[in-house]
Amino acid sequence: MENKKDYFYNIDQLKGLAILLMVMAHVLAWSYTDYSFLKGALIDMTKEEFNASLIWKIIYSFHMPLLFFASGYLFYKVRPYDWINVKQLLLKRINRLLIPYLTTGVFVLFLKGYFGYWFFQVLFVLNVIVLLELFIESKIRVNIFGECACHIFVFLILFIISKCLSGFFSLPQEFANITGLHNYYLAFMFGFLVHKWPCIERLIQCHSIGLGLFFLYILPLLSRKSG
C-alpha cells in the first residue's frame, strides 16, 4: 500500500499570496514609464510617488522570502540523508529546477535578450547546499541548537562570499545571483526548520512574537535605499 502524500493547504495559500503580490508589484512598476523612483528613499517625492514607492517596497520586502519559506517548508521530509538518498534528491532537483531554468533561459534569451529567471537558479543552488548540510549533519547527529548553529555558519559563509565576489566583479543576476543566495537562504531554512521542529511553529503562533519578528525584518528594508 502506497503512503498517502502529505498536502499542505496553508502553504499553498502562502504561495498563492506571494505570487499574487509579485504580479501586483510588477503591474505597479510597469504602470510608470520610469519606475526607478520606486527603489529610491522615501524622501523628496510627490504624494503619488510616495504611496506607490511605499506599497512597492512593502511587497518586495517579503513576497520573495515568502516563496522561499514555502519552498523550504515543503523541502523537509522525514528521511535518512545518506549519500544514496542525497544523490537521488539531487537528480530530482536537476530535473525539476536546473533543466527547466536552462531550457526556458535559452528560449527567453532569444525572445527578450536576457537569460531566464533567477528564482529557479537560486532555488536549485539552495537545494544543493541544504542537501549537503543535511548529509553532513546526519553523520554527526546534531540537536536543534547545533542544527541552527550550522545553518547560521553557512549563512555567514554565503554572506562573506557574496560581499567578496561583488567587490571584484558583477554578473547579471540571471546568470549568477550571488546576493540572492544569502538573502533567501535564511527564509528557505526558516521554512525547513518550522516544518521539522513543531516547537518553532508554536513559538511563532504567539502573535506578539510573530509580529515583532515581522517588523524587525521589514523596517530596515523600508528605511534603506533600494537599488
Q: Among 56-60, 69-73, 97-101, 103-107, where is mean pLDDT lowest?
A: 103-107
CA distance 215 to 227: 21
Q: What is the band of 89 on the pLDDT scale with cuts at 50, 70, 90?
A: very high
Summarised one tens digit per residue, pLDDT across range 113-167 is: 666 678 888 899 999 999 999 898 888 877 778 888 888 899 999 888 877 776 6
Can you give the three-state secondary structure of 175-199, one letter per residue? Answer: CCCHHHHHHHHHHHHHHHHHHHCHH
pLDDT at 202 over 60: yes
Contact, 57 vs 222, CB < 8 A?
yes
CA distance 168 to 199: 42
Distance of alpha carbon 178 from the chain centroid: 12
Determine whether 76 is exposed, middle or buried from the number of CB atoms within 10 Å of its CB (0-12, 13-18, 19+). middle
Q: What is the band of 1 on the pLDDT scale with cuts at 50, 70, 90?
A: very low
Report which of residues 175 and 153 the model is more confident about: 153
Specify whether the backbone of 113 is left (phi greater than 0), alpha (psi in -120 to 50) or beta: left
CA distance 41 to 97: 35
Q: Give the three cell numbers for residue 60.
A: 518586495
Q: What is the band of 92 on the pLDDT scale with cuts at 50, 70, 90?
A: very high
CA distance 126 to 104: 20
Summarised one tens digit per residue, pLDDT across range 35-76 is: 888 887 777 788 888 888 888 888 887 788 888 989 999 998
The chain-wide mean pLDDT, for the chain, equals 79
CA distance 182 to 165: 13
Q: pTM of the prediction?
A: 0.78
CA distance 103 to 137: 34
Report which of residues 128 and 12 the model is more confident about: 128
Q: How many CB atoms lie within 10 A of CB 227?
A: 7
Domain ranges of the chain: 1-74+206-227, 76-196
